């Protein structure tokens, strides 16, 4: 039930976001005096509608988006009533058309930023100082997380009954203990603990000094022998090294809450990170297509591959089912930011394509006037239709690819 709730929340959030995107176009167009004849949520047969002024508002049967009809978006539109010609969109100043076309993406950005600000106050945002790399983890304080066993071979897996018990557990060390010395060698970071432990002799008691609840204590621990590669070189040759049977207990908080004022700066910083990350993700899309195909044909699903609305909804379901509401919120935020940037790409039929054409016309007109030549007029959208169809075809194929991958081999956040 919780999983289904998460799916519904994300799907509904996407629908509302897209509907507000179209509302952004409609509101700005009306403010400038353009004529908007229709605003609908969904596609397909009309379920319900009403007329208010010159605009018909309504709901359609397939809740997969929305649209608004602005009269005369291009000079080639052949459904413009002669009485509406002065209000045709293409006749307005280029800056007004730019605002109208960009308002959809701006709406997505506003949704993301407002949600970020509230999240920073009530939920917290990912800590930029949270350790991500091995070098950063090594700098964490020497606070341990107890393991149940020692995996002798160099693999990542859960404990089995055949694995030897953790030496630290046998010595009654606990998660949260802070190691201060090993065999008399002072340590203060996790990296120092690893270095000293690995150099220690195996099957020989090691003296561990630690602090528990503010009280210094000491214990003798026989270290286990395991097969591991050199530190910093996971692909290097494995060799026998000593192990205590503990991991690092990350002390840097993963999420940080802010005051209402401090949330503004945190929101700005996180927005900048999202902008860079989104652009990088868009650049990586072509190279991720083979990985999507591999996932569909039986290979392992790369967690860094793109997802569709189906995949996003499934991730939302997982987040709620595992009481990870912060993931649900951040997913909604990142989706809005991604759609906002993607929609500004200078390609038809995206809004960015219309903006690019409007400014191309403006620059071309200015250039011709400087050269004393007549205005070449408006761009003929009909001549651009073959390119538009290619973009639609590629976009449709990519959508089908991601949806298929999300159905047959979805990305998961939590182990099953």
Q: How far apart are CA 407 and CA 292, in angstroms?
A: 12
Q: How far apart are CA 175 and CA 158, in angstroms?
A: 18
Q: How far apart are CA 193 and CA 243, in angstroms?
A: 10
Q: What is the CA radius of gyration of the chain?
A: 29
In this structure, how many other beta carbons lie within 10 angstroms of the beta carbon of residue 83?
8
Structure tokens at 17: 């976001």
Asked if residue 349 has a cis previous peptide bond (ω within 30° of 0), the answer is yes
Dihedral (Cα; 292, 298, 303, 305), 10-degree rounding = 0
Q: How far from 135 is each of 95, 138, 201, 236, CA to CA, in Å?
A: 49, 5, 25, 17
Q: How far apart are CA 274 and CA 113, in angstroms?
A: 11
Q: How far apart are CA 26 and CA 40, in angstroms?
A: 11
Q: Would you call 22 a catalytic residue per the annotation?
A: yes
Q: How far from 300 is each of 208, 296, 405, CA to CA, in Å?
A: 42, 9, 11
Long-range contacts of 133-139 (CB under 8 A, 24+ apart): 134/232, 137/190, 137/191, 137/248, 137/250, 138/189, 138/190, 138/191, 138/194, 139/189, 139/190, 139/191
**Which position among 22, 56, 85, 134 bears the catalytic label?**
22
What positions carry a catalytic annotation? 22
């Amino acid at each position: 039930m919780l999983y289904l709730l998460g799916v519904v929340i994300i799907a509904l959030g996407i629908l509302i976001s897209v509907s507000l995107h179209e509302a952004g176009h409609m509101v700005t167009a009306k403010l400038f005096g353009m004529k908007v004849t229709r605003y609908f949520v969904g596609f397909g047969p009309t379920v319900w509608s009403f007329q208010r002024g010159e605009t018909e508002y309504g709901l359609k049967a397939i809740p997969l988006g929305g649209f608004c009809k602005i009269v005369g978006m291009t000079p080639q539109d052949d459904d413009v009533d002669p009485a509406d010609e002065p209000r045709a969109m293409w006749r307005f100043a280029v800056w007004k058309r730019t605002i109208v076309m960009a308002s959809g993406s701006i709406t997505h950005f506003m949704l993301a930023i407002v949600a970020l600000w509230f999240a920073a106050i009530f939920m917290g945002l990912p800590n930029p100082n949270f350790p991500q790399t091995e070098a950063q983890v090594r700098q964490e304080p020497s606070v341990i997380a107890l393991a149940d066993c020692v995996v002798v071979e160099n693999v990542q897996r859960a404990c089995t009954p055949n694995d030897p018990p953790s030496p630290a557990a046998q010595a009654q060390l606990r998660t949260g203990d802070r190691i201060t010395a090993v065999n008399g060698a002072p340590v203060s970071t996790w990296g120092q603990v690893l270095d000293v432990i690995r150099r220690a002799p195996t099957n020989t008691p090691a003296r561990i000094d630690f602090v528990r609840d503010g009280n210094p204590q000491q214990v003798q621990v026989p270290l286990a022998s395991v097969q591991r590669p050199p530190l910093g070189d996971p692909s290097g040759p494995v060799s026998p090294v000593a192990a205590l049977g503990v991991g690092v207990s990350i002390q840097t908080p993963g999420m940080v809450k802010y005051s209402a004022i401090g949330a503004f700066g945190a929101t700005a910083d996180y927005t900048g990170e999202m902008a860079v990350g989104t652009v990088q993700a868009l650049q990586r899309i072509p190279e991720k297509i083979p990985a999507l195909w591999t996932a569909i044909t039986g290979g392992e699903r790369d967690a860094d591959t793109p997802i569709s609305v189906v995949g996003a909804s499934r991730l939302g379901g997982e987040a709620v089912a595992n009481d990870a509401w912060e993931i649900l919120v951040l997913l909604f935020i990142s989706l809005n930011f991604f759609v906002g940037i993607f929609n500004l790409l200078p390609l038809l039929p995206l809004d960015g394509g219309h903006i690019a054409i409007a400014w191309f016309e403006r620059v071309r007109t200015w250039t011709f006037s400087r050269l004393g030549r007549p205005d070449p007029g408006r761009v003929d959208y009909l001549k651009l239709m073959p390119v538009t169809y290619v973009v639609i075809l590629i976009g449709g194929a990519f959508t089908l690819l991601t949806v298929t991958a999300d159905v047959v081999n979805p990305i998961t956040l939590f182990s099953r």
